[in-house]
Amino acid sequence: MLEADYLVVGAGAIGMAFVDALIDRADVSVVMVDRRHGVGGHWLDAYPFVRLHQASALYGVASTPMGGGRIQERGPEAGLHERATAPEICAYYERILRDRLLASDKVSFHSNSDYLGDGRFVSLISGRQYEVRVRRSVVDARYLTPDIPSLTPPPFEVADGTHVIPINDLAGLGCAASQYVIVGAGKTATDACVWLIDNGVDPDAICWVRPRDPWMLNRAVIQPEPTMFIGAAADTMQAASESASADEMFCRLEDAGVMLRIDRSVTPTMARTPTLAQWELDRLRMIENVVRRGHLRAVAPGRLTFDRGQAAGDVVAVDPDAVVVHCAARGLRTAPQVPIWGNRTMTLQPVRAGFPLFGAALSGHVEATVAVGLDVDAANAAKNAVCPSSTYPNGLAEWARMQVTGGRAAAAFSANPDIKAWADQVALNPSRTPPDLMESDELAAAVERLKKYAALGMSRLTEFAGMSA
């Protein structure tokens, strides 16, 4: 039997950001549990050549910026903020656990533990069962846990004799293939394609199965620089205000240098919008063998069969010994949006559009500082009002919805002076405006442009998302 104020289920990036911010402002006890052997969540199972797709400074926990805000001095991204590798991210979270959370004497961590519900968990090593008497809340930090290829079976049938691997195994193949078939259209698939080309594979030896084409954000403008980020937000509001449809808005954002697409002759329908650099885009455009026939249904030696089946002619020939690289896991989940604060529970979700770790840290800060002393129902209502949940996108309408819900949330928490003062000092917040930057002419111009287009832009985004005003 254990006792704690909070039981946090999941010690991935979301759970770590929440607990770090919570204990910074509250004298509480926290029990964290996770099925994995350590903290960091899916990064412990990531493919070896993955990097953050965004700047390191926008990731991690609020108390300890990742990477120190360093700028890349060499390579194709010279001048942009650094992006950490998977080993660097795992080492960062291990340090946060050891030197920040455990050292506070407020947190205990139980690894290799399966949460059973009702405050109970079991060790997957010893079999010992634990029950936690939770005084305040059980915090679900797994609600939007991503599905990744190394832990998810391929979403297509695999015939005997077909060489199918998750992207994790690509770097350890040990021998060259005559052809590589990349299955997937998201960030993981683009990483696989870029990595193969950078390791000398002829682009003509790559067959890219892309069920949908994606819109991606230009990494050059999604940087932890408030002037740049607010400028991109102003571009978004202007594009929305001047567009009659979501497709037109995305094309205007492409012209403004905010959005990227791989093939300008194809209108993308996918809008999860990870960031991509121009040099990566140049690599991806070298691949000409792109298969767009819907979702892959089955693979066999020398043959790919698509949704509509062989009778409709949707069979594509590939080399009999081709290596099929599974990059088609669901990734970020698009679960229903629910209130963060419930009846003695919390369900962690994004708050500001597109930056879930800021949302998790903000939720921890709000839990520690807002409506202290009120009864549970009143406190939950106050916290949900000042820190409403947002969503992850999939298609264009959902991306518009994310902008609307995230914009409403930003207006809500920014209206609270104490929360705004905290958010303006947190590197995880891409639009933070610390006092030393307020005198910048460039920042002032970006803010004014955002104000000019915000009302009409949000109104159009609301229409594109199919939401009520």
In this predicted model, what pLDDT tens digit does every residue of 285-339 receive, in sequence order?
Answer: 999 999 999 899 999 999 999 986 545 558 999 999 999 999 998 888 888 999 9
Place 437 in a pLDDT band, splitting at 50, 70 and 90.
low
Rg of the chain in Å (alpha carbons): 23
The residue with tokens 């634990």 is 130
Q: Rounded to an integer, what distance in angstroms lies between the CA atom of residue 269 and that of residue 410?
A: 27
8 Å CB contact between 16 and 145 = no
Task: Give the total residue count for the chain.
Answer: 469
Q: Phi-psi region for residue 174, left (φ > 0), alpha (ψ -120 to 50) or beta?
A: left
pTM, rounded to two decimals: 0.95
Statement: residue 95 has pLDDT above 90: yes
The pLDDT of residue 89: 97
Tell me whether strands 163-166 and 206-209 are parallel, antiparallel or unpaired: unpaired
8 Å CB contact between 60 and 92 = yes
Q: Rounded to an integer, what distance in angstroms lies between the CA atom of residue 379 and that of residue 374?
A: 5
The pLDDT of residue 120: 98
Place 69 in a pLDDT band, splitting at 50, 70 and 90.
confident
pLDDT in tens, 141-183: 999 998 899 999 999 999 999 999 999 999 999 899 999 999 9
8 Å CB contact between 192 and 48 = no
User: Which amino acid, one-letter code, is at 40?
Assistant: G
Q: Rounded to an integer, what distance in angstroms lies between the CA atom of residue 139 and that of residue 19?
A: 10
8 Å CB contact between 143 and 348 = yes
8 Å CB contact between 81 and 228 = no
The pLDDT of residue 118: 96
Average pLDDT over residues 13-19: 98
| Strand ranges across the sheet with 163-166 | 163-166, 323-326, 180-183, 206-209, 290-291
The pLDDT of residue 279: 97
Statement: residue 469 has pLDDT above 80: no
Statement: residue 103 has pLDDT above 90: yes
pLDDT in tens, 190-206: 999 999 999 999 999 99
Place 433 in a pLDDT band, splitting at 50, 70 and 90.
confident
With the CA atoms of 96, 99, 105 and 108 taken in that order, what torsion angle do they form, in degrees rounded to the nearest 10? 50
Statement: residue 102 has pLDDT above 90: yes
**Range name among 55-64, 273-282, 310-319, 441-450 with the lowest pLDDT average:** 310-319
The pLDDT of residue 354: 85
